[in-house]
Chains A and B, each alone.
Chain A
């Protein structure tokens, strides 16, 4: 079966230790975590954890049903690229002397990235977008000297009226 990148989105109780519980489950079951974000939701008692992972259909089904068993996980769903909005933020610090500044600025403009910091020898560029867009930008920028970078990992919401609420684990069996 094909190995696919998957985005798993879950609503969890906003308790201390809940992140450890989820990541410990992924570790002991041998599921990958490519990126993980935890964020607030409109309900202060609930947080949203978004994990990008890899695996075939069977692995994804296990991830959903095993995660769904955790008492503090209220709901969990897999989001695909078509029916969801997936965004990531990139900060990248690039070595840039006076001569290079305009070159990098030009690339940034094409990607609608913004320069958020400038110093004598470097500049920091910020970009928000789909993971594939970030990958594309990085592929171009890699030819320059990257001093430091970080990506936040994916955060995602389903498109349309779909709201993560009920436990979806059973639907995928």
Chain B
């Protein structure tokens, strides 16, 4: 059939089963929005307050569902407003297709109204990007975008479509949706080498990250951990892959990881790194990290091998397929001495004191986790609240803890929570944020109100930029430069002004009451949870440090 470029885009979205999309219209995407109007019964377009919110929503949708998130924006400022969201997705390997319009081909390069070189701006923050200036290239390019975003190491792909292409006509034939066919893993000798490393090890430790989630290898990882009784630590991106109360899940490692997790890394004689990229927030000191251990790595991306840490043996490929090969080769075994040693370190884990009269961060997260339940999706912003959430969120399944791990994007949370909610249906979505992050993109509440999305936001309000303040306390002699916010924002009134509901809690009982009401609401609710400005995230290993530098009080 003969269709306009804009209609071809709509047909490809339907063909690729990307029928929930996020975006914001504008001059250079008018034909696209006209086509979306034709397909409004099939394609749900969520109109956000800001393109950045839309990009985070597409990201949150992808993280919560595993599907590719789609965002649409106009040229110029529309495209530049996507940049933070695309970079966030890129750093955490989230599959996303970003569609931008650009001015007509005859206006390209003439500094036309709302013209920017979107390709150039997004080149270093996308897995790949395209500019389509010929109608015959449009359908193949869009299909390639979905294929590239959703295969191998996933990531964002941007397609910039000039306005003339959107109105030009071309023949279109529907094709089946892209489904990733993982190339079979055949290098069995490399697997035997892993098995031999495991066989020689007395103190083996698995350190896993978000790659396990991307690969869908949760069940295989669980089986390996339990069959060979290998304790495991994880990065923030690996949260929920193993249940928090699994006795072999030592828990969060790295800068704000548990004492026990970091002790285990320090004393292991073998670290099996799975879908973990040795970031500077976990492998804090590349010369001393895992210094007693041989390091064996499983990752889909060959460029992650020997990037930050010298690897003894690497197997490159899909984690799930590799673990499926490893499992039958590994002997059922136990490491009781090592597991007991870790259990002893567990007793040394930092235990913050609770309170009945004021709100303590770990208790706030504890109540959220308890009342929201195992099935809920927790979405965070960035800062202290994010680390407290990571430490105490008690997740039991993957894709139930959504956070900007690599880029550390303040303002990520609300958009991402809206996207997640669009993806997970009846499951509860709780947005945990701080007063700093929340002020960046709280405007997205209007989106949640318009679409009647029961997203519960809990703002841990300490009136300061807590994480930066914590560093100023520890490393800058309490010189609190520009971190004392003391905003006069009345969260309850602002929520009500937007058409949402708001509560304020200063004690655990008040928080419990507010949260119980919020979880029954059929629209968005904010809860301001007031905490002290001097609460710190502990333990902490400073950047570049080792466990010997750990701050525990």
Residues of A within 8 A of B (CB): 17, 20-21, 24-25, 28, 58, 61-62, 65-66, 68-72, 169-170, 173
Residues of B within 8 A of A169 (CB): 302-303
Q: Does B494 reach chain A (CB closer than 8 Å)?
A: no
Residues of A within 8 A of B446 (CB): none
Smallest CB separation, A165 vs chain B (Å): 18
Given known contacts A69-B301, A170-B316, A173-B314, A62 and B307 CB-to-CB distance under 8 angstroms: yes
Beta-carbon contact of A21 and B127 below 8 Å: no
Q: Scan residues 120-154 of chain B and give those whose CB is less than 8 A from a CB of chain A.
A: 120, 123-124, 127-128, 131, 148
Beta-carbon contact of B316 and A28 below 8 Å: no
* Complex: A69 Cα to B316 Cα, angstroms: 13
B302 partner, pick from A20, A24, A170, beta carbons under 8 A: A170
* Complex: A28 Cα to B90 Cα, angstroms: 14
Smallest CB separation, A27 vs chain B (Å): 8
Residues of A within 8 A of B38 (CB): none
Interface string of B213-257 (1 = CB under 8 A from A): 000000000000000000000000000000000000000000000
A173 partner, pick from B123, B128, B131, B316, beta carbons under 8 A: B316
* Complex: A24 Cα to B316 Cα, angstroms: 25
Interface string of B295-335 (1 = CB under 8 A from A): 00000011101110000001010000000000000000000
**Residue ID in chain A nearest B303 by CB atoms:** A65
Residues of B within 8 A of A70 (CB): 128
Residues of A within 8 A of B307 (CB): 62
B303 partner, pick from A17, A20, A21, A69, beta carbons under 8 A: A69
Given known contacts A65-B305, A69-B301, A17 and B124 CB-to-CB distance under 8 angstroms: no
Q: Does B119 reach chain A (CB closer than 8 Å)?
A: yes
Interface string of B101-132 (1 = CB under 8 A from A): 00000000000000000011001100110010
**Residue ID in chain B nearest A25 by CB atoms:** B124
Smallest CB separation, B149 vs chain A (Å): 11
Beta-carbon contact of B302 and A65 below 8 Å: yes
Smallest CB separation, B295 vs chain A (Å): 14
Beta-carbon contact of A20 and B123 below 8 Å: yes
Beta-carbon contact of A20 and B120 below 8 Å: yes
Beta-carbon contact of A68 and B127 below 8 Å: no
* Complex: A17 Cα to B120 Cα, angstroms: 8
Residues of A within 8 A of B302 (CB): 65, 68-69, 169-170, 173
Beta-carbon contact of B124 and A66 below 8 Å: no
Residues of B within 8 A of A (CB): 119-120, 123-124, 127-128, 131, 148, 301-303, 305-307, 314, 316
Smallest CB separation, B395 vs chain A (Å): 31
Beta-carbon contact of B305 and A173 below 8 Å: yes
* Complex: A71 Cα to B120 Cα, angstroms: 16
* Complex: A61 Cα to B303 Cα, angstroms: 8
Smallest CB separation, B133 vs chain A (Å): 10
Beta-carbon contact of B148 and A17 below 8 Å: no
Given known contacts A20-B120, A66-B303, A71 and B316 CB-to-CB distance under 8 angstroms: no
Question: Told that A61-B306, A69-B301, A170-B316 touch, could you supply 6 new A-B pairs with CB distance under 8 A?
Answer: A20-B123, A68-B302, A71-B128, A71-B148, A170-B302, A173-B316
* Complex: A173 Cα to B316 Cα, angstroms: 10
What are 19 A-B interface contacts by the 8 Å CB criterion?
Answer: A17-B123, A20-B120, A20-B123, A21-B123, A24-B123, A28-B124, A61-B306, A62-B306, A62-B307, A68-B302, A69-B301, A69-B303, A71-B127, A72-B128, A173-B302, A173-B305, A173-B306, A173-B314, A173-B316
Smallest CB separation, B385 vs chain A (Å): 30
Residues of A within 8 A of B305 (CB): 65, 173
Residues of B within 8 A of A170 (CB): 302, 316
Given known contacts A65-B302, A65-B303, A17 and B314 CB-to-CB distance under 8 angstroms: no
Beta-carbon contact of B124 and A24 below 8 Å: yes
Residues of B within 8 A of A69 (CB): 301-303
Residues of A within 8 A of B127 (CB): 71
* Complex: A58 Cα to B311 Cα, angstroms: 11
* Complex: A65 Cα to B314 Cα, angstroms: 14
* Complex: A168 Cα to B330 Cα, angstroms: 31
**Residue ID in chain A nearest B144 by CB atoms:** A71
Beta-carbon contact of A62 and B303 below 8 Å: yes
Smallest CB separation, A15 vs chain B (Å): 9
Beta-carbon contact of A58 and B123 below 8 Å: no
* Complex: A161 Cα to B443 Cα, angstroms: 63
* Complex: A169 Cα to B305 Cα, angstroms: 12
Smallest CB separation, B497 vs chain A (Å): 43
**Residue ID in chain B nearest A169 by CB atoms:** B302
